[in-house]
A and B are shown apart, each in its own frame.
Chain A
Amino acid sequence: MTALDDWWAVEADQSLTSEQKQALFNDIRAAAFLAVDLPFYVDALQITHIAVSGNRVDVSGLGKFSWPLRIYNGPVGVADPDGNITKADGSTWFSDPVEVVAQCIRSAP
């Protein structure tokens, strides 16, 4: 089971309230992001530090960027045509927090 599988299982659980789902999402997110091996690189940037608090992930690193990067309510994976995990709706995903960080960094203006 990947973090995304866990995430989707919570997402699909109709017996949970929104608050319960958010709490579980936070747990899944924290486990996934804190398991990332540091440092790693996103293009020319080196990611040196990740901290998780509630629904927030703080990412710091080296290189020209407006650090810190703060991600609120972020997922634990990203949809990608080349992803190695297939969701029930047929879409393909990468279950990797590194991809989330990369997506956020690359979306920055």
Chain B
Amino acid sequence: MYSERTVTTSVIYGSTIRGQNVQYGPGFISPAVTAATIGLASPFTNLSTFLTTKVTRTRFTNSTGSTTNPTATFSATPANGSALIAVILRTADNTTTTMTGWTQLSNAGAGGVRQAAVFWKRAGASEPTTVTATNATAAAWNMTIIEYGGWATLADPVSISASATVASTTTISVPATGMMAGVVAIVNGTGSWTSATLADDLGTNASYTQFAATTLANCSEIVGYNNYEDASITSAKYTLGTARATNRLVVGWPHNANAGTAGSLFAGIDPTASALVGQVGIEFDTSTIPALNTVSAATLTLKSGSSVTWPSTANSEIFSINSTAIAKTPSNTRTLWRTPTEVAALTKVATRAAGSAYVANTTYAWDSETAFISNINQGSTTRLLVATSEQRTGSLAGSTQTYSVSDTAANHFLTIVHNRLVTIPTVTATATPTISRIPSFPRTIAASATATAALSRIASFPRTIAAAVTASPTLSRIPSFARTIAASVTAVPSIVATYQPFLTQLPRILRLAGRSTITLVSQSTLRLLGRSTLKLPKE
């Protein structure tokens, strides 16, 4: 037996990349969310909530009437801290609507025919279930009240698109503002539309819930999916069955709609800019690294983005996320994003130190951790999360700690040195003594040598034993050959000659002593030829 190690260096360029920003950025939400709300000052107390919690709708009620005081009642007492929204759509006039204790987010209409108004308030400890507004005059109205929890308990809703009149048309556009959750309403006062359907242009960026649907007023909710890179809805609109002039408005909680910088994806946290930045996932097809091979070294090389920064106090840290798909799929579920606790639970495979040089559009090799080689997903896909030490610890420096990588997957690569120990059996010629002494048998030696490729490379094997042993002439000298004849002669004790070939014309004398008997079995013939004598006793 001997062993041989085959070594290969494989460089595998990235196949998929995706950046994902958090849903909010301070610059987008002022005054709805302040730095104190998110807890931007160390230790960033609300970071996990900020990263994971959505705006969640608890309940809603829709009511219609034509009194001066629109009213609706929640099915249960709103939770302390919930955000309450009231949408009042008037279909016959536009006189003033007020709500005591509530804050108006938007209010507009058309003279004498319609009005769309929205108010909100933070629920108290014993919030009444019944909500009442006051109109200046009695006229037909539609009122929807909604209770929001989750992130809405920390962040106030804002007017995303103020109530405004839209000229007669069958499509009512909703301004392209990404929404974590938004309440959208349209109202018409001069005639009915047969139907109103809300959808975003792509049809895959959000989910919709219709609260109220009459032929004059429609109030719906848009929940923007949060797992897109920019987490935004590009455009949404109502489609009406009949062209009508309407008033429309949008309020709620906007996403971080920062599309980032072309050519770059950012990792890290920037507590002062418009977005909190994010994390990046990169996928490498390592199916070409055989599962049986031993990976002896692995290095990650990333190319910087076209717009670069490098953290001054936070390290770049790369983590294994082999079980997380990187592909973009429309849903409202977090994919890449990890909270500090979740990041800390991942295996760190590479780092690059804070304060390192970083030039735009340049490749840099990260320092590999020992665990990297065991996290190369041999025979399958290797997926990595690009993050920072701040995102692992949740402890922030308070200043921008971000860096960019190219948004083209094929600009990043893994270098993997892998090897395989190949054991080649040396051949033992199992020529048993019996075989070696039988001249006609040498082919069995070939048969016993297993036909592996290694055989041909074994120098010691060219013993062709058969060739060295000559053939049959020695046969005549093998006395034991006689036994085959003897076996054919039955055990007649009195036969003296053990073997007397009758092949030649030599005289033979076969004497049978007295009382001997020769029995010729049936069909036998006894021939006495030449001078042979058969003596029989006298009569």
Contact = CB atoms under 8 A, between A and B. Distances in A.
Contacts of B306: 89-91
A36 to B, nearest CB: 16
Given A66-B417, A73-B285, A89-B263, A107 B11 contact: yes
A75 interface: yes
Interface residues of A, number: 25
Interface in B333-375: 359-363, 365, 368
A109 B368 contact: yes
B24 interface: no
B76 to A, nearest CB: 50
Given A81-B361, A91-B360, A108-B417, A74 B11 contact: yes
Contacts of A90: 306
B378 to A, nearest CB: 14
Interface string B386-426: 00000000000000000000000011010101010000000
B299 A70 contact: no
B288 A70 contact: yes
Contacts of A51: none
Contacts of A67: 7-9
B11 A68 contact: no
Nearest to A22: B15
B455 interface: no
Contacts, number: 84
B315 to A, nearest CB: 20
A19 B344 CA distance: 37
A89 B11 contact: no
Given A72-B285, A73-B285, A81-B359, A108 B303 contact: no
B362 A79 contact: yes
- Dominant secondary structure at the A interface: loop
Nearest to B304: A79
Contacts of A68: 8-9
Given A89-B306, A109-B415, A73 B15 contact: yes
Given A90-B306, A108-B299, A108-B415, A79 B361 contact: yes
A71 interface: yes
Nearest to A59: B9
B327 to A, nearest CB: 12
A73 B12 contact: yes
B35 interface: no
A104 B298 contact: no
B113 interface: no
B10 A70 contact: yes
A69 B285 CA distance: 16
13 contacts: A66-B9, A66-B419, A72-B13, A75-B13, A80-B362, A89-B263, A91-B263, A91-B360, A104-B413, A107-B363, A108-B299, A108-B415, A108-B417
Closest 8 CB pairs of A and B: A109-B297, A91-B361, A73-B13, A104-B11, A66-B7, A66-B9, A79-B361, A71-B11
Given A68-B9, A74-B413, A109-B368, 10 more contacts: A65-B9, A66-B417, A68-B8, A70-B10, A72-B10, A72-B288, A79-B303, A81-B361, A104-B415, A107-B415
Interface of B: 7-15, 262-263, 285, 288, 297-299, 301, 303, 306, 359-363, 365, 368, 410-411, 413, 415, 417, 419
Interface of A: 56, 65-75, 78-81, 89-92, 103-104, 107-109
